[in-house]
Amino acid sequence: MSGDKKLTPPPVQWAQKKNQLLITFGLEDCKDPTLNIDAEKIYFKGVGGTDQKEHEVTINLYKEIDPEKTTKNARGRNIEIILMKKEEGPYWPRLTKENSKFHWLKIDFNKWRDEDDSDGSASDDGVRGGGGGDLESVMRNMGYLSGNGDMKPNLDDLPDTVDDEEVADDSDAEELPDLE
Question: 105-146, pLDDT tens digit by residue?
Answer: 999 988 876 666 654 443 434 444 344 445 666 666 655 555
pLDDT digits (tens, 9 = 90+) for 146-176: 555 555 555 566 556 655 555 555 556 678 8
| Total length of the chain | 180
Residue 171's contacts (CB-CB under 8 Å, 6 or more residues apart) are none
pLDDT digits (tens, 9 = 90+) for 2-12: 445 688 999 99
Q: Convert 109-144 to b/e letters by CB count within 10 Å (16 or more is b).
A: eebbbeeeeeeeebeeebbbeebeeeeeeeeeeeee
pLDDT digits (tens, 9 = 90+) for 10-19: 999 999 988 9
| Run of H or E residues at 53 | strand 53-60
pLDDT digits (tens, 9 = 90+) for 80-114: 999 999 988 889 999 999 999 999 999 998 887 66
pLDDT digits (tens, 9 = 90+) for 69-81: 999 988 778 999 9
Predicted confidence at residue 176, as pLDDT, reads 81
Q: Average the pLDDT over 18-47 and give the result.
A: 92
Backbone torsions φ then ψ of 141, nearest 5 degrees: -65, -30
CB atoms within 10 A of CB 47: 15
